[in-house]
Homo-oligomer: A and B are copies of this chain.
Amino acid sequence: MTVLILTCEEDVTADMVIVHLHGSGVPVVRVDPADLTGGVSLSGEYVHGRFRGHLSAGGRLVSIGGLRSVWVRRPGPPAGRATQPSPWLTEEAAQALYGMLRGSDARWMNHPDAARQARHKPWQLRLAQRCGLPVPATVITTFPRAAREFAERFPDLVVKPVSGAHPQDPPRAVPTSRVAPDTDFAAVAFGPTLLQRRIAKRADIRLTAVGERLLAARKATAPDAEPAEVDVRFATSPSPWEPVEVPQRTADAVHAYLREAELAYGAFDFVEDADGTWWFLECNQSGQFGFVEVETGQPIARAVAEWLSRPAPGETPGVNGVRTTAH
């Protein structure tokens, strides 16, 4: 049973995971959907009530029925590198590839529908609330009056995009910014705006969830940090990321979140306040983990590899971690 990794050519994070998969002897096929109809071919046959499908990449043929798991890392747009690319060809190739994979019994990290749902920040906030995670008071609105009333109740605010970083190439990230006290909210009428109470933080927390495993890292805020530097991605903090234990209550809530969201992987961002409370900011279902692993030494890539190489239903685990297919 094979692990299928869907990602682009240059992806060192995938490389890190593949090293572990090779180390445990699990067969891996790495495919960039952008290479479809070029270096990647596919075929699926529906005859007499049965489906038989194959993917061919880099001279290797893999059966879709023989997939153990699919890791959707950073796949390119299907047929994006075809000789004559077009939106129509991309749509046809996407339907063919994902349509066949969706019909397989492989486990997904993450399933495309779960991934899509998980990107909706308003839905994230609601789910986090329901799972018992503390969520800073937030409003998402196109009503200037609602924004003004919210700013009266919570005068210390940050603003961020509703949709977060855009899945573009190269990806653009819009930093979270502090809202000036005399802000005029009239422009809120022109586009939904997300305002959130600023948490006076003493640290940022990145919690990486891989299946049931939770690996958390903490980056202390410098005592002399500018309160305007709210976004850890753009701040210049001298403190490194360091491993930190996950409080049991947070762990339970995060497990509930992942279960409800049907996610096998999630990168949670929290801020820690002066009381030690972890406030939920967001969960990025495809968040990077390389920088955390490099700074903390936490074995995230290995955890991903272990999740991907778990035996499929009907497969018997072999000895010494080497899996054999039950035929």
Q: Write the residues of chain A forming the contact surface with B, with a CB cutoff of 8 angstroms.
A: 36-37, 41-51, 56, 79, 82-84, 88-89, 91-100, 102-103, 113, 116-117, 119-127, 129, 132, 135, 137-143, 146, 150, 161-163, 166, 189-192
User: A168: shortest Cβ distance to chain B, in Å?
Assistant: 10
CA distance A92 to B188 in the complex (A): 12
- Which residues does chain B contribute within 8 Å of A166, judged by CB atoms? 88, 91
Contact A163 B46 (CB under 8 A): no
Total copies of the chain: 2
- Which residues does chain B contribute within 8 Å of A127, judged by CB atoms? 103
What are 26 inter-chain pairs, A to B, with CB distance below 8 A? A42-B142, A42-B192, A43-B146, A44-B122, A44-B140, A45-B139, A45-B150, A46-B125, A46-B135, A46-B137, A47-B138, A51-B129, A56-B143, A88-B166, A91-B166, A92-B161, A92-B162, A94-B163, A95-B120, A95-B121, A96-B192, A98-B120, A99-B121, A100-B123, A102-B117, A113-B113
- Which residues does chain B contribute within 8 Å of A122, judged by CB atoms? 44, 95-96, 99-100, 102-103
Q: Which residue of B lies closest to A142 (CB)?
A: B41
User: A46: shortest Cβ distance to chain B, in Å?
Assistant: 4
Across the A-B interface, the 4 shortest Cβ-Cβ residue pairs: A99-B122, A99-B120, A103-B126, A96-B192
Contacts A102-B123, A113-B117, A140-B100 hold; do A162 and B44 have CB atoms under 8 A apart? no
Contact B37 A191 (CB under 8 A): yes
CA distance A204 to B21 in the complex (A): 51
Specify which of B42, B82, B83, B124 is in contact with A141 (CB 8 Å cutoff): B42
Specify which of B37, B56, B123, B163 is in contact with A92 (CB 8 Å cutoff): B163
- Which residues does chain B contribute within 8 Å of A99, judged by CB atoms? 120-124, 140, 162
Contact A190 B83 (CB under 8 A): yes
Contact A119 B95 (CB under 8 A): yes
Contacts A102-B117, A120-B102 hold; do A163 and B49 have CB atoms under 8 A apart? no
- Which residues does chain B contribute within 8 Å of A36, judged by CB atoms? 142, 192
CA distance A121 to B83 in the complex (A): 25
Contact A44 B129 (CB under 8 A): no
- Which residues does chain B contribute within 8 Å of A92, judged by CB atoms? 161-163, 191-192
- Which residues does chain B contribute within 8 Å of A46, judged by CB atoms? 125-126, 129, 135, 137-139
